[in-house]
Chains A and B, each alone.
Chain A
Amino acid sequence: MEVDKKNSFINITLGTEHFAISVYKVLEIIQYEELTIVPGVSDFVLGILNFRGSIVPVINMHQRFNMKAKNNTGKMIVVVDIINKDKHVLMGLLVDEVTDVVEFDYKSIKSVPDLGVKYNPEYIDGFIENNNKFIMVLNIDRVLNVKELSEITNALT
Chain B
Amino acid sequence: MDEMIKDFVTEVTDLLHEMENDLILLEKDPGNTDIVNKIFRMMHTLKGSAAMCGFRNIQDITHAFEDVYEKIREGVIPVDTTIIDITLKGKDQIALMLDNRNDENETNRLINYLRSEFSNDIGHQFHNANTDSYFTGTDDHLYCILFTPDKEIFERGIDPDKVINELKNTGSVRIVPHEGKKSWNRQKADKVCLSKWEIYLSTLLSKEEVESIFLFYDESEFTVYSISNGNPGDNEQLHGSLHKLYKSNKDWSDHIGKMTTGLSSNENEDTLKKEVDRKLLIDTNPESSAGDNDSTINVSSRKLDELMNLVSELVTLTASLEVFSSEIRHPRLQNTIESVEKLTKRFRNNALDLRLVPVGTLLSRFKRQVRDLSKELDKNVNLIVEGQDIEIDKTILKAIENPLQHIIRNSLDHGIEKETERVAKGKTPAGLLKIAAFYSGANVLLQVQDDGNGINLERVKECAIEKGYITPDQTVTEQELINLTMEPGFTTALNTTIVSGRGVGMDVVKKELNRVGGSLEIFTEKNLGTSITMKLPTTLTIIDTLMVDVGSTRILIPLLDIEYCYQDKSSAIFNKDNRYVQYKNYPIPVVSLRQKFRYKDYENQEVMVIIINKFENRYAVVADHIIGEYQAVIKPLGELFINQPYFSGGSIMVDGKLSLILDTNFLFNQAIRNKI
Task: Give me the interface of A with B, judged by CB distance under 8 Å.
Answer: 36-41, 45, 48-50, 53-57, 84, 89, 91, 146, 149-150, 153-154, 157
B431 at the A interface (CB under 8 A) = no
Q: Is B650 an interface residue (CB 8 A)?
A: yes
Known: A36-B659, A37-B552, A39-B553. A150 touches B643 (CB 8 A): yes
Residues of chain A with a CB closer than 8 A to B596's CB: 39-40
Q: Is the CB of B494 closer than 8 A to any CB of chain A? A: no
Report yes or no: A55 in contact with B643, Cβ–Cβ below 8 A: no
A-B residue pairs in contact (CB < 8 Å), sample of 5: A39-B550, A40-B645, A53-B652, A55-B638, A154-B641
Given contacts A36-B658, A39-B550, A154-B641, 11 further A-B contacts (CB under 8 A): A36-B553, A38-B641, A39-B553, A40-B646, A41-B641, A48-B658, A57-B640, A57-B641, A89-B639, A150-B642, A153-B643
Chain B 314-358 per-residue mask, 1 if CB under 8 angstroms from chain A, else 0: 001000000000000000000000000000000000000000000
Q: Which residues of A contact B552 (CB under 8 A)?
A: 37
Measured CB to CB, the closest approach of chain B to A133, in angstroms, equals 32
Any A CB within 8 A of the CB of B309: yes
Interface residue B559 (Cβ < 8 Å from any Cβ of A): no
Whether B639 contacts A37 by the Cβ 8 Å rule is: no
Q: Given known contacts A48-B637, A49-B658, is B644 in contact with A38 (CB within 8 Å)?
A: yes
Whether the Cβ atoms of B644 and A154 lie closer than 8 Å is: yes
B291 at the interface (CB under 8 A from A): no
Cβ contact within 8 Å between A55 and B658:
yes
Report chain A residues within 8 Å CB of B553: 36-37, 39
**5 smallest beta-carbon distances between A and B, as pairs:** A39-B597, A36-B658, A154-B643, A53-B313, A55-B650
Q: Are B309 and A38 in contact (CB under 8 A)?
A: no
Among A36, A37, A49, A149, the residue within 8 A (CB) of B640 is A149
User: Which one of B312, B636, B641, B646 has the highest number of Cβ atoms from chain A below 10 Å of its Cβ?
Assistant: B641
Task: Tell me how far the C-beta of B312 lies from the nearest C-beta in chain A, rounded to whole angstroms.
Answer: 7
The answer to whether A53 and B312 have CB atoms under 8 Å apart is: yes
Given contacts A38-B660, A53-B313, A89-B638, contact A48 B650 (CB under 8 A): yes
Report if B625 contacts A (CB, 8 A): no
- Asked if B147 is an interface residue, CB under 8 A from chain A, the answer is no
CB distance from B644 to the nearest CB of A (A): 5
Contact status A57-B652, CB under 8 Å: no
Q: Answer yes or no: B656 CB below 8 A from chain A CBs.
A: yes
Which of B309, B597, B656 interacts with A40 by CB under 8 Å?
A: B597
A157 & B650 in contact (Cβ 8 Å cutoff) = no
- The minimal Cβ–Cβ distance linking B296 to chain A, given in whole angstroms, is 30
Task: Return the chain B residue nearest A90 by Cβ.
Answer: B638
A55 to B309, Cβ gap below 8 A? no
**CA–CA, A157 and B598, complex, Å:** 12
A54 to B649, CA, bound (A): 11
Contact residues in B for A84 (Cβ distance below 8 Å): 639
- Asked if A39 meets B316 with Cβ closer than 8 Å, knowing A89-B639, A146-B640, the reply is no
| B635 at the binding interface (Cβ < 8 Å) | yes
The residue that A53 contacts in the complex, of B316, B551, B644, with Cβ under 8 A, is B316
Whether the pair A45, B657 counts as a contact (CB closer than 8 A) is: no
| B652 CB contacts on chain A under 8 angstroms | 50, 53, 55
Instruction: Tell me if B's interface is mostly helix, strand, loop or mixed.
Output: mixed
| Residue numbers in B under 8 Å from A49 (CB-CB) | 658
Nearest CB on A from B639, distance (A): 5
A54 proximity list for chain B (CB < 8 A): 635
User: Shortest Cβ distance from B401 into chain A, in angstroms?
Assistant: 23
Given A38-B647, A39-B596, also A53-B640 (CB < 8 A): no
Docked complex Cα distance between A157 and B646 (Å) = 10
Distance between Cα atoms of A53 and B652 in the complex (Å): 7
Of A39, A48, A53, A146, chain B has the most CB atoms within 10 Å of the CB of A39
Establish whether residues B658 and A146, one from each chain, have CB atoms under 8 Å apart when the complex forms. Answer: no
What are the residues of chain B within 8 A of A50 when measuring CB–CB?
Answer: 652, 656-658
Given A40-B646, A50-B652, residue A150 in contact with residue B313 (CB < 8 A): no
Residues of A within 8 Å of B647, CB to CB, are 38
Residue of B nearest to A42 (CB): B644
Q: Which of B316, B554, B636 contacts A55 (CB 8 A)?
A: B636
How far apart are the CA atoms of A38 and B661 in the complex, in Å? Answer: 11
Q: Which of A55, A89, A146, A157 has the most CB of B within 10 A?
A: A55
B-chain residues with CB within 8 Å of residue A40 when the two chains form the complex: 596-598, 644-646
A49 to B638, CA, bound (A): 12
Give Cα A146–Cα B637 distance, bound, in whole angstroms: 13
CB distance from A20 to the nearest CB of B (A): 24
A37 proximity list for chain B (CB < 8 A):
552-553
Cβ contacts under 8 Å, A55 to chain B: 635-638, 650, 652, 658
Least CB separation from A150: chain B residue: B640
* Smallest Cβ-Cβ distance to A35: which chain B residue: B658
The residue of chain B having its C-beta at the shortest distance from the C-beta of A45 within the complex is B640
Residue picked from A50, A56, A146, A154, most chain B C-beta under 10 Å? A50
| Chain A residues whose C-beta falls within 8 Å of the C-beta of B639 in the assembled complex | 84, 89, 146, 150
Which A residues lie within 8 Å of B550 (CB)?
A: 39
CA distance A154 to B637 in the complex (A): 13
Residues of B within 8 A of A150 (CB): 639-643
CB distance from B441 to the nearest CB of A (A): 27
- Chain A residue numbers with a CB within 8 Å of B312 are 53
**Complex Cα gap A38–B658 (Å):** 10
In the bound complex, what is the Cα–Cα distance between A53 and B646 (angstroms)?
Answer: 22
CA distance A50 to B660 in the complex (A): 12
Interchain nearest-CB distance for A5 vs B (Å): 27
Q: Which residue of A lies closest to B651 (CB)?
A: A55
User: Closest approach, in angstroms, between the C-beta of A150 and any C-beta of chain B?
Assistant: 5
Within 8 A of A (CB), among B285-312: 309, 312
Nearest CB to that of B650 among chain A residues?
A55
List B contacts of A36 (CB < 8 A). Answer: 553-554, 650, 657-660
Nearest to A41 among chain B residues (CB) is B644
Contacting residues of chain B (614-645) with chain A, CB-CB under 8 angstroms: 635-645
Q: How far is the CA of A38 from the CA of B643 in the complex (A)?
A: 13
* A-contacting residues, B655-672, CB 8 Å: 656-660
Measured in the bound complex, the distance between the Cα atoms of B599 and A50 in whole Å is: 24
Which residues of B, 451-497, contact A by the 8 Å Cβ criterion? none
Hey, which chain B residues are within 8 Å of A56, CB to CB?
A: 638
Bound Cα distance from A88 to B645, whole angstroms: 24
Residue with the greatest number of chain A CB neighbours at <10 A, chosen from B640, B642, B643:
B640
Q: In whole angstroms, how far apart are the Cα atoms of A73 and B312 in the complex?
A: 34
Q: Determine if B656 and A153 form an interchain contact, defined as CB atoms under 8 angstroms apart.
A: no
Please report the C-alpha to C-alpha distance between residue A153 and residue B642 in the assembled complex, in whole angstroms.
10
CB distance from A61 to the nearest CB of B (A): 15
Minimum Cβ distance to chain A for residue B673 (Å): 15
Q: Once the chains bind, are B635 and A157 in contact (CB under 8 Å)?
A: no
- In the bound assembly, the distance between CA atoms of A14 and B635 in angstroms comes to 31
Cβ of B636: which chain A residues have Cβ within 8 Å of it?
55
